Amino acid sequence: MAWYLYPKTYPTLNETNRNALFFCYIDTGLYDLAMKMLEDDTTLAMARNSNAETALHVLARRPLEFGGRSTLGMCSRLMNSFLYRHASIFNLVHETGSIKDIIVTYTDDENNNILHLAAKLAPQNQLNLVSGAALQMQRELVWFEEVKKIVQPVSIDMKNKDGKTPRELFTSEHEGLLCKGESWMKNTANSCMLVATIITTVVFSAAFSIPGGIADNTGAPKFLKDTAFLIFAISDGVALFSSSTSMLMFLYILTSRYAENDFLKSLPLKLMVGLASLFISMTSMMIAFSTAFYLSCHYGLRFVSDFIFIFAFVPVVLFVFLQYQLLCDMFLSTYYSSLIFQPRKHMIQ
């Protein structure tokens, strides 16, 4: 009877009545009709009932009651969320223990479990959510490791129809992205290491070029007791140590073995430390240069020394402007990516 009345009454319903009818079908177990409505109007997927819940919220609480065409069809659609990297659906499935128990044991026609699907390369639009091939590789590893936590141990070494375990499938699917990530890391490290080397050379030489010269009678720097000289000495030392640290970090990146798991935390962390050290060394070098110029010229050219002091920080501002987004992306990707998989985050609002 419901199937007979549906095509005759559906066109006459407004949006509110359609939403109410859609959830009525779900509540009464008429899942075939609910699916038919969803096919006719895809906006119903995000419609909410009186409890501000979507259809997915309602269905996730009763996985064993999936009627309609088949429970397997619903499992198949939920499994696609792992393939297309829908973190919100993963999060909801993770919270709902009953449906999670079904999904983690389900396999598709090619004998792929959910870890196999997480091992496949994400669609390009999902990869583009983060910048750079290295961070994209990191995000893929985070997905794989998080899904790995919820599957049964037997699923980790389970083989699909092609005879591949999830890890083997991940390696083959991400071979191209791994090469791009390695190239991106090396190019970035090479460029930054060149800058760090130049800064190290400059500040090392500056340590033996005393601003203002040396007093003839004592052999000590003329401005030894001047506050500006103390600032020069400290900033020059900080610049030398931080640029040396930066060089070591970039050297580590260049000589890394570039294994898959290196992209999870090791390489991004080293690059963050290297970039932060490079920023500190550049800032300290500019402070050392400004104070040295001040000590040498402030008596006769005070306005010039002030002018130089102001414009010496233009490169520092440019560095922040150009590299800030990369540093933020790396920090968030390294330390906050896994938060989207934490239970009870309710990402679907």
pLDDT digits (tens, 9 = 90+) for 86-144: 776 776 666 665 566 667 777 777 888 888 988 999 888 888 888 889 999 998 998 89
254 and 193 co-located in one domain = yes
- Report yes or no on 15 lying in a domain: yes
Report residue 348's pLDDT band, with 50, 70 and 90 as the boundaries. very low
41 and 97 co-located in one domain = yes
- Report yes or no on 349 lying in a domain: no
- Report yes or no on 346 lying in a domain: no
265 and 216 co-located in one domain = yes
Cα separation values, 90 from 115, 135, 191, 319, 331, Å: 12, 21, 39, 38, 23
Identity of the highest mean pLDDT range in 153-157, 226-230, 234-238, 319-323: 234-238
Contacts of 80 (CB under 8 A, 6+ apart): 117
Instruction: Count other Cβ atoms within 10 Å, centred on residue 71.
Output: 16
Closest CA to 313 of 281, 275, 287: 287
Q: Which of 55-59, 214-218, 232-236 is predicted with the least confidence, judged by mean pLDDT? A: 214-218
79 and 220 co-located in one domain = no
154 and 225 co-located in one domain = no
10 and 133 co-located in one domain = yes
Tens digits of residue pLDDT in 96-109: 655 666 677 777 77
Write down the residue that tokens 């699923």 correspond to: 155
Please state, for a pLDDT cut of 90, what percent of the chain lies above it: 29
- Report yes or no on 262 lying in a domain: yes
The torsion angles phi and psi of 220, rounded to 5 degrees, stand at -95, 160
> What's the rounded Cα separation, in Å, for the pair 304 and 301?
5
- Report yes or no on 239 lying in a domain: yes
> What's the rounded Cα separation, in Å, for the pair 145 and 289?
48
140 and 193 co-located in one domain = no
73 and 47 co-located in one domain = yes
pTM for this one? 0.68
Number of domains observed in the structure of the chain: 2
> What's the rounded Cα separation, in Å, for the pair 196 and 245?
9
* Average pLDDT over the chain, rounded to an integer: 80
121 and 196 co-located in one domain = no
- Report yes or no on 108 lying in a domain: yes
Q: Tell me what the mean pLDDT of segment 217-229 comes to.
A: 66
Print the domain residue range for 133: 2-175
Among 175, 201, 218, identify where a domain stops. 175
8 and 84 co-located in one domain = yes
Closest CA to 327 of 219, 188, 212: 188
The torsion angles phi and psi of 86, rounded to 5 degrees, stand at -85, 95
155 and 189 co-located in one domain = no
Write down the residue that tokens 């709902």 correspond to: 96
Tokens of 276: 């932060």
- Report yes or no on 103 lying in a domain: yes
Asked whether residue 338 carries a pLDDT value surpassing 70, the answer given is no
* DSSP class per residue in 121-133: PPPHHHHTTSSSH
Q: Tell me what the mean pLDDT of segment 222-247 comes to.
A: 85
- Report yes or no on 253 lying in a domain: yes
226 and 86 co-located in one domain = no
